[in-house]
Structure 1
Amino acid sequence: MIDVLILVALVAAIVLTTAKLKISPFIALIGAAIIGGFAFRLPTADIVPTILTSFGNTLGNIGLVILFGTMIGLVLERSGGAISMADALIKVLGTRFPNLTMSVIGYIVAIPVFCDSGFIILNSLRKAIAVRAKVSPVGMAVALMTGLYATHTMVPPTPGPLAAAGELGVIEDLGLVIGLGLPIAAVAAGAALLFASTLRRKTFELLPKSSGEPELDQSYEELRASYGTLPPASLAFLPILVPIILICLASFGNLPSAPFGEGTLLTALQFVGSPSIALIIGFALGVLLLKGKGRLEQFNDIVTGSIGVAAPILLITAAGAAFGGVLGASELTGFIADNLSTLGLGIFVPFIIAAALKTAQGSSTVAIITTAALVAPMLESLGLGETMGAVLTVFAIGAGAMVVSHANDSYFWVVSQLSRIPVATAYRTLTPATAIEGVAAMLATWVMSLIVL
């Protein structure tokens, strides 16, 4: 119990120092990681290596993804490609429901793509549509974030739910997991969308723009005119669509059924479909949108500006991972699992464990995989031993892995920093949105259990 109180105190300290005292989240998170290492009684010799390992692993895993994703966003903004995409989407979906537009796009994109990467790729589109539709960019950030989150945690071939299906023995029933997971994820995204809609007309003070980020606060007509001749929408979508398609193909190629075999074709798809390479290809396609004289200078300005925009995001994200690494190395996660696994709440047990682990250490994927390993031996005692019970357990775990996104979650910082949402505002918008989404997903799973079990 003392470790839980320590966690609460650390999270409260992060909120206070970042939201009230305006201290850099990077400093607050690193400080929390160091203090937490001592407070959770980690061996002194292990504290620094734990922090450095988690920090470095996160930079290694998503550093290039964030950097090249930011480059794609800037090249789309500088070239007018984002405006072309916004025009094309609005022609199809209209301007009446911009939050719905972003939620649906995110829901589809995150089936094969990590939600962090998806938000980075789609962020420029979100900003352009927010200006075009004259709605709150914060509300649209919530809609996109939660649309991505829904399928990221519940629908294979995203690695988390795919790993959970394997751990729970339903990998051969992956079609069932996908088929039932899609409507449950839609319910979750819909609930979060309702919350995002309450923010549609609200005004929030945003963080100042960095020097590398273009101005998008003028009227849409002025913004559109400032670009002159816009690139065709068909070409403007390529820097986003091509990486998504490549990542999708690589994900499906890794399915147990091996749809592309196990030879040269699969190897090639795994290479070009890795997120970093896919985004490099997307950026190369984006550079083709640059026009006029001085394209080399434009290219260099975009690269320099992207580094300036991405660097704070990378550092804050890695610091959040360092904090999560300290929590993961403590006895806190074991305490949570041991005390929640014997409550006899049926399908709600995996949800509670996953939610507790997610809230404690930040990573949805880690929470999913850890919870699946913990509950696999309990399925029979929980009344979930049959195939359908195990499938529903995958969804219950995924629902718990959404609750809640806060300071120790890299996704929280990716969304808040790219959207220029102050920490205090992020806690009032992003965090409750993920709580609503996770609870809605669990309720949908419970209702389905009443029907099929």
Structure 2
Amino acid sequence: MIALAVAAVWVGVAAGMHVSSAIEEFSKGFGSLIGQIGLIIILGCVFGYLLEKSGAAMSLALKLWSSIGKRFPALSTGLMGSVVGIPVFCDAGFILLDPVGKNLSKTSGISPLTFSLSLAGGLYLSHILIPPTPGPLAVAGMMQMEQQLGVVLLLGILLMIPVLLVVAWWAKRFANQKLHEQLPEKATANTPTATPIPSFFWSASVISLPLLLIAIGNLHSLITNEALGQVLKTAGNPFLAISCGLALGFWKLKAPDGSNLMRIAFEKGIVTAGPILVLTGSGAGFGTILKQIGLQEILQSWNMQPSSLFGWILLAFGISAFLKTAQGSSTSAMIISASLLISMLPAETGFSAMQTGLLISAIGAGAMSVSHANDSYFWIVKEFTGLSVAEALRSYTLLTFLMGVSALGMIVVLAWLINLFY
């Protein structure tokens, strides 16, 4: 936050703005975006803690494994991670589910590294591509897509399927590898299945309801009946959709230890949302400064702006991948990349909602590449998996690179298909 604020004001002053004007514009950009999506981010974080603390996330994970896990262990574990990673942060999700992978390894004879890598990849994938996780949600708001989250959600799901296959393929390469380091105590603790968990039906209903409402809401433009269209638009409002999921969750889910689930979810969720809101608002403020100094005109005079959607997709991916590799945080990389991209996009591009969604996905794909030693998630995966740093770089870091490149390839294919119809 400090780096973004100082950089924004410095850039504004260097471009000829008065200090007070630069601070005022930064504040306007900060407040404008928080006003649009601040409550949605808070509710999204609360929603994640609701599913985690109630045991609903574990219920979903175990059902997925029992259904298809024994036939396709790596793929099912990645799918398990990607489903749980929608409402639960990937750090917490990995710590929560890694003991399940350890126990599955003992019964199947497959290396625990296969389960850990596929789980880590699945969690990472949905954390970056699927709203209502903070990264894609914040970028969607910055790119004026907060009322069309269904498009971002649909594209994220389409991208997730082939990238999950890449994750499973890579994880299976380590099926026979033995781990030599002692695992942390948390990773070898008693299996979470000993704790009472809610039914799969209600767990799935709670996570499906807001996603379904958001998706349905995006159909309002296809409805000729004005009253019905308005009803669908209202139902798909992200704030209302997540609120409905929370209401159902607080009604049907309980904390295993009997504690007040609503209080815990809101306390933990608001604390988690605080830094995300500060970072998101600061990124928007930085973007506002970049707009004010005429960066778009400067790039036009240098002939550096891409001439097609494919060019913008590659630029979005490149900026985000550079920032992710340089500073470690995927959410930061996505927000700063969106700020830069918005300042470069000319008003006359005329991109449709689907094309703008592809740009958001390209930013996310870049934010997967590359997770290494400056990323906190890298250390969680390394420590709980029992790898050395070199082994983690050869296995997990290379996996994140493959995920980013695979997602980019799919985005280019989708852009080509969309261009056939425009």
TM-score by length of 1: 0.57
Q: 1:284 aligns with which of 257, 266, 279?
A: 257
- Aligned match of 1:352: 318
Alignment partner of 2:142 out of 160, 163, 167: 167
2:160 match: secondary structure: helix
Aligned to 2:351: 385
CA contact (8 A) 2:98 2:187 kept: no
The match for 1:426 among 377, 380, 392 is 392
Within 5 Å, give how 1:59-208 maps onto structure 2.
91-93=66-68, 95-208=70-183
1:448 to 395, 414, 417: 414
Partners of 2:186 and 2:151 in 1: how far apart? 48
Instruction: Give the residue type in structure 2 aligned to 1:409.
Output: D
Map Cα deviations across residues 217-265 of structure 1 (whole Å, 9 max, x no partner): xxxxxxxxxxxxx96xxx7543999888767778999999675999999
Q: CA deviation at 1:404?
A: 0.7
Cα distance between partner residues in 1 of 2:150 and 2:95: 29
Change (3 A) 1:431 1:283: farther
Amino acid at match of 2:316: P
Q: Does 1:238 align with 2:185?
A: no
Q: Report the secondary structure of 1:284's partner residue.
A: coil
Query: Within 2, Cα distance between the matches of 1:411 and 1:248?
Result: 26
8 Å contact 1:362–1:408 — kept in the other structure?
yes
Indicate how the Cα distance of structure 1 residues 422 and 248 shifts in structure 2: closer, same or farther if over 3 A, else same: farther
Deviation at 1:270, TM superposition (A): 6.1
Cα distance in 2, alignment partners of residues 178 and 261 from structure 1? 14
Note if contact 1:112-1:158 (Cα within 8 Å) is conserved in structure 2: yes
Which residue type is aligned with residue 174 of structure 1? L
1:136 Cα offset (Å): 1.2
Correspondences of 1:261-410 after superposition (within 5 Å): 282=255, 284=257, 342=304, 344=306, 345-380=311-346, 385-410=351-376
Distance 2:139 2:371 in 1: 20
The residue type equivalent to 1:137 in the other structure is P
**Long gaps (5+) in structure 2:** 1-44, 218-232, 260-278, 284-288, 290-294
Cα offset, 1:96, TM superposition: 3.5
Are the aligned partners of 1:69 and 1:120 in contact in 2 as well (CA < 8 Å)?
no
* TM superposition shift of 1:121: 2.1
Q: Provide the residue aligned with 2:227 in structure 1.
A: none
Contact 1:347 1:396 in 2 (8 A): yes
Q: Aligned AA for 1:405?
A: S
Q: Give the 4+ runs in structure 1 shifted more than 4 A.
A: 68-72, 88-91, 239-273, 280-283, 381-384
Q: Write out per-residue CA displacement over residues 322-377 of structure 1, whole angstroms, 9 at most, x where no aligned residue.
A: xx9xxx9xxxxx9xxx9xx8463331000001111111111111111111121123
> How far 1:285 sits from its partner (Å)?
6.7
Query: What runs of 5+ residues in structure 1 fail to find an aligned partner?
Result: 1-61, 217-229, 287-323, 329-333
Secondary structure of the residue aligned to 1:238 is coil
Cα drift, residue 266 of structure 1: 7.8
3-state secondary structure, aligned to 1:100: helix
Separation of aligned partners in 2, 1:113 and 1:212? 18
TM-score where L is the length of structure 2: 0.60
Distance in 2 between the 1:434 and 1:449 partners? 22
**Is this contact kept in 1: 2:316–2:341, CA < 8 A?**
yes
For 1:202-241, what aligned pairs fall within 5 Å after superposition?
A: 202-210=177-185, 213-214=188-189, 236-238=196-198
CA distance in 1, matches of 2:367, 2:137: 14
State whether residues 107 and 150 of structure 1, in contact with CA within 8 Å, keep that contact through their aligned partners in structure 2: yes
Residue 107 of structure 1, CA deviation? 1.6
Aligned to 2:382: 416
Instruction: Give me the whole-angstrom Cα distance separating, in 1, the residues matched to 2:186 and 2:83.
Output: 32
Provide the rounded CA distance (Å) in 2 between the counterparts of 1:104 and 1:165.
24
Out of 421, 432, 436, the position equivalent to 2:402 is 436
Q: Deviations over 1:285-329 (max 9, x none)?
A: 79xxxxxxxxxxxxxxxxxxxxxxxxxxxxxxxxxxxxx9xxx9x
Q: Distance in 2 between matches of 1:403 and 1:98?
A: 25
The separation in 2 between residues aligned to 1:205 and 1:351, in whole angstroms, is 37
The offset of 1:157, in angstroms, is 1.5
For the 8 Å contact 2:134–2:331, the answer to whether it is kept is: yes
The amino acid across from 2:257 in the alignment is A
- Taking a change above 3 Å as real, the CA distance of residues 171 and 266 of structure 1, as seen in their structure-2 partners, is closer
Paired AA for residue 124 in structure 1? P
Query: Residues 377 and 93 of structure 1: is their aligned pair in 2 closer, same or farther, counting only changes over 3 Å?
Result: same
SS at match of 1:347: helix
Identity %: 31
Are the counterparts in 2 of residues 154 and 398 from structure 1 also a CA contact under 8 Å? yes
- Do the aligned partners of 1:260 and 1:266 also contact (CA within 8 Å) in 2? no
